[in-house]
């Protein structure tokens, strides 16, 4: 290494010796110099170091989940929350997208939660489950609320090759409300209801019986379920007070709710692309607004009534400056 230092020009030698003396990376210092030995990127590096800081976080003194107190006086509770806050604060791209998408979907979800008597904090459960993308888990859970096929059907969702209402935000939110209210009626705790959403009631019952405890924060649970409520709490904290955690978003950065109009369909749609054209839109937009339509047609052999969303005036508008 000393031989490498001798062949560097003066500025390079200073940087290299600094690296050795103060524990920095010699290779990192070597990489910032151009072939002619001039420190052309040194100013940039200095500006980067001055502007980009990585901080530990100050935890909130008190916290609630669905109006239930979180025991912040416990060491494991503080550390579990700290972990999830750090993960979501420093996974900046994911959390920025969460902010943007939440602005689009929270108003609709909040209205349904309020109407169904489910605490507003549960909107963060959907955000944690999917980050408001129509992902499919390795186990086959789908949609914003990540319902398994059988569970979704048990809670009133139609799931087949042409229609999958797990991807219908309104209907899947209603199904999630039914699930969470049933779990709350059983456990008397929204934290345990959330745990049951992740682990299943059978898994929660097993741990309650084994450990002789009735509080989520008293239980030793499988890793994913142990983190689950804390992930929800972390996103709640960051979304509610973004600047505290270093996120700076302007109004125009947020995604608007889609401007839509509703059309009731009671018969078949033989060709969704042609049907879209007749309704002054296109196949891509119909599928964007109605991801629950899973095929190129809707047979509707049972003559059901479906609400299909179509773009309305202002669909392509953005938030003004």
Are 106 and 238 found together in one domain? yes
Are 277 and 248 found together in one domain? no
pTM tops 0.85, yes or no = no
Residue 226's CATH number: 1.10.530.10
The phi, psi pair for 296, rounded to 5°, reads -85, 0
Are 84 and 176 found together in one domain? yes
Are 217 and 182 found together in one domain? yes
Are 226 and 278 found together in one domain? no
Are 157 and 267 found together in one domain? no
Structural domain count of the chain: 3
| pLDDT tens track for 242-263 | 999 999 999 999 999 999 999 9
**Concatenated DSSP letters for 93-112?**
HHHHHHHHHHHHHHHHHHHH
What is residue 10's predicted lDDT score, i.e. its pLDDT? 45
Cβ atoms within 10 Å, residue 148: 16
Are 158 and 35 found together in one domain? no
Are 17 and 166 found together in one domain? no
Residue 161 lies in a domain: yes
More confident residue, 40 or 76: 76
Helix (H, G, I), strand (E, B) or coil at 202: helix
Average pLDDT over the chain, rounded to an integer: 88
CA distance readout (Å), 13 to 33, 44, 49, 300, 314: 11, 19, 20, 75, 61
| pLDDT tens track for 287-309 | 999 999 999 999 999 999 999 99
Q: Is 62 within 8 Å of 77 (Cβ atoms)?
A: no
Q: Which domain holds residue 190?
A: 64-253
Are 148 and 268 found together in one domain? no
Residue 216 lies in a domain: yes
Please compute the mean of the pLDDT values over residues 61-68 and round it to a whole number. 96
Are 128 and 222 found together in one domain? yes
Are 214 and 285 found together in one domain? no
Largest CA distance in the chain: 83
């Amino acid at each position: 290494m000393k031989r490498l230092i001798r062949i560097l020009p003066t500025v390079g030698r200073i940087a290299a010796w600094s690296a050795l003396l103060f524990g920095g990376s010699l290779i990192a210092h070597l990489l910032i110099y151009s072939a002619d030995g001039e420190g052309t990127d040194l100013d940039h590096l200095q500006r980067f170091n001055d502007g980009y800081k990585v901080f530990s976080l100050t935890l909130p003194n008190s916290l609630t989940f669905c109006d239930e107190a979180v025991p912040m006086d416990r060491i494991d509770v503080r550390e579990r929350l700290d972990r999830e806050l750090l993960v979501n604060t420093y996974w900046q791209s994911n959390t920025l997208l969460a902010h943007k998408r939440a602005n689009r979907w929270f108003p609709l979800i909040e209205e349904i939660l309020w109407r169904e008597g489910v605490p507003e904090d549960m909107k963060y459960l959907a955000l944690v489950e999917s980050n408001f993308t129509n992902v499919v888990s390795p186990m086959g859970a789908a949609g914003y609320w990540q319902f398994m096929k059988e569970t979704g059907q048990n809670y009133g969702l139609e799931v087949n090759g042409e229609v999958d209402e797990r991807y219908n935000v309104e209907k899947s939110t209603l199904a999630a409300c039914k699930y969470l209210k049933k779990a709350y009626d059983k456990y008397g705790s929204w934290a345990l209801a959330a745990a049951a959403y992740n682990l299943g009631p059978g898994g929660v019952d097993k741990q309650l019986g084994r450990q002789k405890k009735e509080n989520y924060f008293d239980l030793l649970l499988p890793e994913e379920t142990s983190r689950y409520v804390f992930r929800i709490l972390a996103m709640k904290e960051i979304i509610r007070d973004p600047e505290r955690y270093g996120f700076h978003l302007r109004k125009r950065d947020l995604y608007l709710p889609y401007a839509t109009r509703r059309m009731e369909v009671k018969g078949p749609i033989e060709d969704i692309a042609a049907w879209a054209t007749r309704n002054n839109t296109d196949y891509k937009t119909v599928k964007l607004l109605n991801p629950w339509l899973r095929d190129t047609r809707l047979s509707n052999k049972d003559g059901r009534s479906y609400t299909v969303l179509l773009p309305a005036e202002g669909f392509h508008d953005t938030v003004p400056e």
